Structure 1
């Protein structure tokens, strides 16, 4: 259900100075959704000689990020980034999208910073300049545009006063059909989730309701005694929207929020048809950031501490975790959730995707530079663990599995 945007781009520039060296740089899609792979090729480079291929992009704060690899042209003067192994540079293995996620900031530790795209007309957009050079002389360049929101996607705010919810409804362009939909919320950072994931999912044709459940206007200031019924209200609202198949609403969350996602799927199977869980927990934990109470309540009573039951879940479940999660043992939790679903003789597909070397930040779309330490809005610098290459691999596999799960629900 991809909405492919853009046209092929070919740019060829003569290098400056007294040299006849030149090259052509081609890309199959000059404008794409941010989660779509592009294919970059260089032709006409010096045969058998090394060339440098680089990418630059400016982030939301005006900082210019940069990546670069040195690769060797074949006997025909061709470089295919999908198959070329870098001799050196910002990434080290064969990876056609390596230039995108391996960009580094102009200063500071890349592991402690994450690229945030600038916003144009209220929508996040990334412009990357790709260039080819040899011995410091540019041979060719082109600019790619990556979008998080395709044409026709709309965003509607929801308030407690009017809707009994704090959130944003991100809807694809209407086509007269009913589609699977996603109830999305974040983890211990609280607040409204970033709209990058909802925008991309809506661009693929899936309506998304992103909600805040604490640390935002109209909801508790802390993750303390949050009613699971609040999420049920959100799922019910989503199922009533035009273009939504109410029998195919999937809940999606990460980290602390996966506890609420599991509880919702277990207690309200008539409203929620399965779950996507990034870096999940399998047990109800205490309140955050100040322990001493339960994080969640159900029917007015505290939930936990203890394992979250899954025998009521009515739908597919995908859990994505990294073996090097520095926040909590999400690998063990993901595996435990699958074992409990097996024990409950769950009839729907359920899968744990465990990525060696990946950390806590495994949720979302790939191809974007992300640090392994984040600036948590409540507790400050917070180590997620893993490595940038391993976390990128987790993003790719988890996102592909997520889109496949949603596609399987389309009727």
Structure 2
């Protein structure tokens, strides 16, 4: 038996596993095992049937269980599960994005087959981030050559933290990329004016080429990307918004008056929170899922907020996407459990196109919330939940459908940024 795998590749690059010299029609078991940055061991075991030439190629072969389709070399990676971890948790990455992946292959009825250990590596390097007083943290990655490259700002969602591995992924593709930890702790809010100042500082950095940057955000980060693009059309060019909202949203905290954005944001008001009556009613809405050990599903909350607010309040909170410079790429999954990003992404793209802005919308069947590259590496399993607003929040979607969406998102984002903002296209 002969095993052929790439010695080093990017987290989102195709990962072909090719097995040859086995009996035609034999069942070949491909096992994967990796330990993430949190020390959690992940593994998967997938069975394929060798073709008439005694070969299996994950680029063209489907497993017997057929959890995904059509064939995709990343499929076995999407099915990785924690051996002794929290169900629904994500694969934890170091900022470098490196993953040691152990591959074992054997055919049924035969002795132990070939084995190999491979590292999926990153080639970007980290430098000091431009000053950003209004942010808890920021990480800045640039391509290896050290020269100025088009700049990109990454904005994660309500989970908070710095999406550093995603920034390294983009830097590896030719963009000087800063990742901001921007989402406010508790319900204290974030000063949009300070974020705009941080944006100007980034544009002026010696490692950033040109006078405009691209923004890439997901979830609440997509909302912020659109708000910043409206506020700074002379600084912001291309915008990628994964699982966006078309209105400025409220925070689903216990206090219905909580807001995320402080200062000079347009629109100036949130979509009003739905009235839950007493403080106990608000607390109960959180306690019930927690006591039942269920994740918080926010789609109903945001749909209820929109319905109860009425047309005038929705219109007042609507993000004026027609004022961005563009171009604009919006993506959404049909099984988003946080909010109806499919409908809102379509509305954003339509209003932008009607204003003469280059706008593109991509919908991923069966995918959940926030499935967008580079936040979701195409070659890792997609989590079912995330920690946000003090709770475990359900993201929705089928894991293999979300994995396939991540692979498609990689190609779409690279092509979009490559065409409108330099860098690589593949």
Place the TM-score, normalised by the shorter chain, in its bin.
0.7 to 0.9
In 2, the alpha carbon distance for the partners of 1:235 and 1:55 equals: 41
Residues 190-243 of structure 1, C-alpha deviations (whole Å, 9 max, x = no match): 3x322111111111121112222344xxxxx34555332222212211111123
The CA distance in 2 between the partners of 1:184 and 1:223, in whole Å, is: 22
How do residues 76-91 of structure 1 correspond to structure 2 at under 5 angstroms?
76-88=53-65
Aligned counterpart in structure 2 of residue 333 of structure 1, from 324, 329, 344:
344
1:63 aligned residue (17, 40, 50): 40
Structure 1 pair 307/130, CA: closer, same or farther in 2 (3 Å)? same
TM-score computed with the length of structure 1 as normaliser: 0.83
Map of 2:222 onto structure 1: 258
Indicate yes or no: 2:27 matched with 1:26: no
| Partner residue, 1:246 | 210
Distance change in 2, residues 1:278/1:397 (3 Å): same
2:239–2:327 Cα contact (<8 Å) kept: yes
State the match for 2:142 in structure 1.
172
Q: Deviations over 1:92-151 (max 9, x none)?
A: 7522111212112214675x132224x5xx73421111121123732111112112x315
Which stretch shows the higher mean deviation, 277-286 or 252-261?
Answer: 252-261
| SS of equivalent to 1:71 | strand
1:281 aligns with 2:250: no
Give the drift of 1:158.
5.8
Residues 292-336 of structure 1, C-alpha deviations (whole Å, 9 max, x = no match)? 144324438943431110122112111111111011010111001
SS at match of 1:368: coil
2:269 is aligned to 303
Contact persistence 2:26–2:108 (CA under 8 A): no
Say yes or no: does 1:268 pair with 2:232. Answer: yes
The structure, 1 or 2, with the larger RCO (C-alpha pairs under 8 Å, 6+ apart) is: 2
C-alpha RMSD of matched pairs (Å): 2.4
Change (3 A) 1:210 1:304: same
Which 10-residue stretch deviates more, 376-385 or 173-182?
173-182
The 3 A distance-change label for structure 1 pair 72 and 293 is: closer
Q: Which aligned segments of 4 or more residues in structure 1 are displaced greater than 6 angstroms?
A: none
Structure 2 unaligned regions, length at least 5: 272-316
- The answer to whether the 8 Å contact 1:69/1:90 transfers is no
| Correspondence 1:28-47 to 2 at 5 A | 29-47=6-24
Say whether the 8 Å CA contact 2:130–2:201 is kept in structure 1. Answer: no
The offset of 1:90, in angstroms, is 6.5
The equivalent of 1:115 in structure 2 is 91
Distance 1:56 1:246 in 2: 43
- Change in Cα spacing, 1:405 to 1:279, as seen in structure 2 (3 Å) is same
